């Protein structure tokens, strides 16, 4: 059964001190419902991506809280929390997609939410996504592990710090035109290279911020979608794969095997090749991650990812625009919400509703990654 996205909603991403966890997921959900003109009681199920409510806000049982606070508990609508580190949102979307594709439900919500500013150590919480015994115990957090990957990529393929900086510059430029983005200002390569070192060679401006935010999409089967929506966006494929958690166990530091596996399966199901993708939202938690994504998704050969950014091929107007939203780097990274936020952006792009960041697109791809690549979710959408 074909599945379509018929409604989208998203809060602003950033340090939302004046808003609560409850208020931001409600804001995103209401926007998604209004977008497609349905009422909450018509929803068959709720799937919520949330990495660590227990640590960030000392609240577990997140899904029930959302159903309750959204006024849906009265209808007994089943709600499920999905956790897969940074890939929680993408994984929640996949569960929602399968629920509709199987015929179990006609209409469902896939949402993501995270409130990180209430935590005293948000990066410490995020770094629980890596192997605690073999990586964190000896002092390696997420920036340090991605720095190892970046340094190895430089050694093997000649990638430079300037190449990494160009990713940040591109994404900040795109975010200027995104009203939901955390950083709506341009930066220069020089600004990145002069920012403080976090884990050599990664600097502050190579790293995505940890943000508050929520996002939601509504999925329906094709029959309902065509009745309710003038511009349904169809899910051509939604795949997921896993890899070893610790970097030391992987055969190749420079290939995210889960990304390769999930993307190949998605291309097979959608009957597409990488060159047929018109726009992509990829997981740039660190600038090196976007360059790896170019390669592992098949947009460039292994070792040639930096060439795409040097030649402007991934900019708006380039051969394969990547992260027109600003990506995690500039739009912000509200961990559990990020994977859904990527889908929101691509739906707007495919509808032609992305404003000044609009690209000409019929096929779109989202890549949501957990931790250093132990989980990857790839979604292909079409208008």
Report the distance separating Cα 186 and Cα 190, nearest Å. Answer: 12
Q: Do 223 and 193 lie in a common domain?
A: no
Q: Do 74 and 215 lie in a common domain?
A: yes
pLDDT single digits (tens) 215-250:
999 999 999 999 998 899 999 999 999 999 999 999
Residues 6+ apart with CB under 8 A from 111: 25, 28, 29, 32, 46, 47, 48, 49, 66, 92, 214, 215, 216, 217, 337, 340
**pLDDT of the residue at 176:** 98
Q: Do 89 and 178 lie in a common domain?
A: no
Structural domain boundaries enclosing 50: 3-121+211-233
**pLDDT of the residue at 79:** 97
Name the band, by pLDDT with cuts 50, 70 and 90, for residue 320: very high
CATH number at residue 155: 3.40.47.10
Q: Do 25 and 148 lie in a common domain?
A: no
**pLDDT of the residue at 95:** 98
Write out the two tokens for 222. Answer: 């094709």
**pLDDT of the residue at 230:** 87
Name the band, by pLDDT with cuts 50, 70 and 90, for residue 139: confident
Q: Are 169 and 188 in contact (CB under 8 A)?
A: yes
The pair phi, psi for residue 330, each rounded to 5°, is -115, -35
Q: Do 52 and 105 lie in a common domain?
A: yes
Name the band, by pLDDT with cuts 50, 70 and 90, for residue 97: very high
Q: Do 106 and 166 lie in a common domain?
A: no
Q: Do 150 and 296 lie in a common domain?
A: yes
Per-residue pLDDT for 120 more than 80? no
Number of domains in the chain: 2
Q: Do 177 and 217 lie in a common domain?
A: no
Mean pLDDT of the chain: 96
Q: Do 177 and 323 lie in a common domain?
A: yes
Answer whether 0.75 is exceeded by the pTM: yes
Q: Do 46 and 9 lie in a common domain?
A: yes
pLDDT single digits (tens) 168-211:
999 999 999 999 999 999 999 999 999 999 999 999 999 999 99
Q: Do 29 and 142 lie in a common domain?
A: no
pLDDT single digits (tens) 280-306:
999 999 999 999 999 999 999 999 999
**pLDDT of the residue at 122:** 85
- The burial class, CB within 10 Å (0-12 / 13-18 / 19+), for 317 is exposed
Name the band, by pLDDT with cuts 50, 70 and 90, for residue 127: confident
**pLDDT of the residue at 124:** 86
Q: Do 309 and 368 lie in a common domain?
A: yes
């Amino acid at each position: 059964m074909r599945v379509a996205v018929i409604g989208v909603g998203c809060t602003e991403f950033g340090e939302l001190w004046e808003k609560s966890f409850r208020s931001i997921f409600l804001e995103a959900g209401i926007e998604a419902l209004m977008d497609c003109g349905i009422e909450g009681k018509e929803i068959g199920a709720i799937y919520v991506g949330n990495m660590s409510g227990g640590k960030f806000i000392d609240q577990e049982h997140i899904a029930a809280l959302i159903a309750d606070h959204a006024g849906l508990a009265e209808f007994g609508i089943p709600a499920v929390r999905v956790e897969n580190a940074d890939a929680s949102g993408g994984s929640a979307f996949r569960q929602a997609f399968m629920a509709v594709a199987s015929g179990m439900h006609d209409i469902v919500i896939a949402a993501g939410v995270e409130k990180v500013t209430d935590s005293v150590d948000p990066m410490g919480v995020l770094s629980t996504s890596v192997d605690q015994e073999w990586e964190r115990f000896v002092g390696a957090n997420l920036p340090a592990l991605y720095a190892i990957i970046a340094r190895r990529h430089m050694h093997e393929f000649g990638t430079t710090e300037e190449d990494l900086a160009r990713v940040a510059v591109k994404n900040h430029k795109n975010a200027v035109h995104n009203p939901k983005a955390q950083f709506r200002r341009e930066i220069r390569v020089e600004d990145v290279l002069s920012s403080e070192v976090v884990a050599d060679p990664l600097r502050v401006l190579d790293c995505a911020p940890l943000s508050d935010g929520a996002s939601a999409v509504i999925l329906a089967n094709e029959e309902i979608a065509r009745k309710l929506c003038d511009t349904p966006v169809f899910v051509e494929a939604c795949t997921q794969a896993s890899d070893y958690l610790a970097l030391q166990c992987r055969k190749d530091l420079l290939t995210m095997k889960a990304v390769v596996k999930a993307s190949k399966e998605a291309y097979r199901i959608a009957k597409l090749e990488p060159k047929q993708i018109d726009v992509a939202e990829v997981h740039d938690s660190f600038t090196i991650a976007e360059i790896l994504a170019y390669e592992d998704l098949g947009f460039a050969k292994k070792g040639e990812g930096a060439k795409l950014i040097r030649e402007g091929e991934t900019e708006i107007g380039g051969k394969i625009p990547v992260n027109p939203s600003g990506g995690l780097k500039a739009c912000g990274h509200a961990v559990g919400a990020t994977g859904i936020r990527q889908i929101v952006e691509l739906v707007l792009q495919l509808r032609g509703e992305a404003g000044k960041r609009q690209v000409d697109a019929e096929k779109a791809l989202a890549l949501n990654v957990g931790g250093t690549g132990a989980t990857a979710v790839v979604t292909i959408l079409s208008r």
